[in-house]
Structure 1
């Protein structure tokens, strides 16, 4: 699924116009990108946590020449799914995701 597909699905399910949904999705992505660039932790309840971690420098290898090359320190984004998300995505689970329950509406915490 790509961003365009997400916009289409949200438009169908909510009745909101595509331009409004597209704007919200774009702002959400921009805010996430900004927060991660500032090395902030992002927690989305019942989904997971995005964090930025420092990766120590190490020695790598050029696969073509076999030469050892230094790999500098860098930052990487990690994602840890929530226990609820992992449980619901296990093979034995037949439940719906908690933020997609037709009986109760949205339960996604902000």
Structure 2
């Protein structure tokens, strides 16, 4: 599996904008920080919609009074908390639904 880092994203943005990486990096950082700050500052739930990419959501989970620790089989209480969720756009879903044979030929 190929793992991409923020540096790879900066490189791709710099190439598409025909700019050096050192100029593109602050912009990529600023976008990532802005998304992170919006998600972290949300009261309980929030939704960030980026057209043709997807939706980032912070959702509230319910408390689980009778959860089980699989290692010890002990019954534990898990308090309500928040979680992140990503839902891809229609464009991305359409691409990801292509048969793998078609994708590997390209």
TM-score, length-scaled by structure 1: 0.75
For 1:43 and 1:11, the matched residues in 2 are separated by: 24
How many residue pairs were aligned? 95
Query: Counterpart in 2 of 1:82?
Result: 89
* Contact kept? 1:8, 1:18, Cα under 8 Å: yes
Query: Counterpart in 1 of 2:80?
Result: 73
2:22 is equivalent to residue 15 of structure 1? no
Query: Counterpart in 2 of 1:42?
Result: 48
More helix by share: 2
In the alignment, structure 1 segments of 5+ residues that lack a partner are 95-110
In the alignment, structure 2 segments of 5+ residues that lack a partner are none
**Cα displacement (A) at 1:53:** 0.6
For 2:11 and 2:89, the matched residues in 1 are separated by: 26
For 2:77 and 2:10, the matched residues in 1 are separated by: 42
- Cα RMSD for the two superposed structures: 2.1
Deviant stretches of 4+, over 6 Å: none
TM-score, length-scaled by structure 2: 0.78
**Cα displacement (A) at 1:81:** 1.1
